[in-house]
């Protein structure tokens, strides 16, 4: 396989929370007086959106939207007692919008269908189909000014609020309260995505994967990011969008300010030239 890097699409935008946002830090320990369910924070103690959360959520949405969630198209990434526990889509199709944009893993993988039929199945080697992942999703840092002082004074913590929920027994009405930390509605994060444009075996990507990525962004706006999305959290939108293109030859030039090839206040207004 011959691969040439033709250039890079760089998408800069803000991610604005429409409702409270909870992306858990993954720490199951509980401190006395602490929050049951804290959000992920950076080294400065400010909430941020991990690139892995953005990439993972958009990949999952695209798998459904592109018709890839079928037992014979899902590979098992985690198994328990020889049964599939976590599955994602991965295939050898050259123009697959999911694998081409979000990436494939090396080595052998067994499909969910084959593992159910034969727990000892070795799986198929995907090494020949692996190419560098096109999409890079940066961590999105909090824009501090998006949470002004008049809102911060009403927050439970320095940058976040605490949402109380109850799990109530249907017969006795006994309550099991819990607290979840979340970023308040209206907060903005500075985001950046990069999509590599390749020429593979003389076939140029052009803007095929850029358009697929914009589709993934739109899907995310009508879904949710982070946890507890079916209970009110995680609605986000992309605003102040700028798309730049840097040809591979631009990296040989002296630094110069690039002009965006497209700008828009929202995804609905965005048009590619």
- Given a contact cutoff of 8 angstroms between Cβ atoms, the answer to whether 134 and 196 are in contact is yes
Instruction: Tell me what pLDDT residue 68 has.
Output: 95
CA distances from 147 to 11, 26, 39, 138, 180 (A): 24, 25, 16, 21, 19
- The residues of the chain scoring below 70 in pLDDT are 26-36
Query: Please, what's the b/e burial string for 254-273 (b: 16 or more CB within 10 A of its CB; e: otherwise)?
Result: eeeeeeeebbbeebeebeee
pTM of the model: 0.90
Report whether 144 contacts 131 (CB < 8 A). no
pLDDT recorded at residue 105: 87
Most distant pair of Cα atoms in the chain: their distance: 72
What is the model's pLDDT at position 28?
Answer: 47
pLDDT at res. 173: 85
**Cβ of 227: how many Cβ atoms within 10 Å?**
18
Neighbouring-strand partners of residue 167: 176
CB neighbours of residue 59 within 10 Å: 20
d(CA 226, CA 181): 12
The predicted structure's pLDDT at residue 122:
83
| Cα–Cα dist 58/51, whole Å | 11
Distances from the Cα of 134 to the Cαs of 171, 193, 200, 203, 243, in angstroms? 53, 10, 12, 15, 16
Among residues 47, 64, 76, 262, which one has the least CA distance to residue 158?
A: 47
Name the burial class of residue 121, with classes exposed (0-12), middle (13-18) and buried (19+) by CB atoms within 10 angstroms of its CB.
Answer: middle
Angle at 55 between CA 87 and CA 161, to 5 degrees: 105
């Amino acid at each position: 396989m011959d691969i040439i890097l033709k250039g890079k699409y760089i998408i800069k935008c803000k991610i604005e929370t429409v409702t409270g946002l909870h992306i858990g830090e993954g720490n199951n320990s509980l401190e006395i007086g602490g929050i049951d369910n804290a959000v992920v924070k950076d080294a400065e103690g400010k909430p941020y959106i991990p690139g892995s959360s953005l990439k993972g959520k958009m990949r999952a949405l695209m798998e459904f939207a592109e018709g890839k969630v079928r037992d014979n198209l899902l590979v098992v990434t985690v198994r328990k007692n020889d049964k599939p526990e976590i599955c994602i889509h991965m295939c050898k199709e050259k123009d697959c919008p999911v694998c081409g944009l979000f990436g494939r893993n090396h080595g052998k993988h067994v499909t969910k269908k084959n593992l159910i039929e034969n727990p000892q199945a070795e799986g198929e080697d995907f090494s020949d189909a692996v190419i560098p992942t096109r999409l890079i999703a940066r961590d999105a840092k909090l824009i501090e000014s998006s949470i002004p002082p008049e809102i911060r004074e009403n927050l439970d913590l320095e940058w976040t609020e605490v949402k109380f929920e109850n799990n109530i027994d249907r017969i006795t009405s006994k309550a099991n309260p819990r607290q979840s930390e979340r970023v308040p509605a209206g907060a903005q994060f500075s985001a950046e995505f990069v999509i590599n444009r390749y020429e593979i075996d003389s076939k140029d990507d052009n803007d095929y994967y850029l358009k697929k990525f914009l589709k993934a962004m739109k899907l995310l706006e009508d879904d949710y990011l982070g946890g507890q999305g079916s209970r009110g959290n995680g609605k986000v939108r992309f605003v102040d969008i700028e798309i730049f293109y840097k040809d591979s030859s631009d990296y040989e030039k002296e630094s110069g300010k690039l002009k965006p090839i497209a700008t828009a206040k929202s995804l609905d207004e965005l048009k590619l030239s």
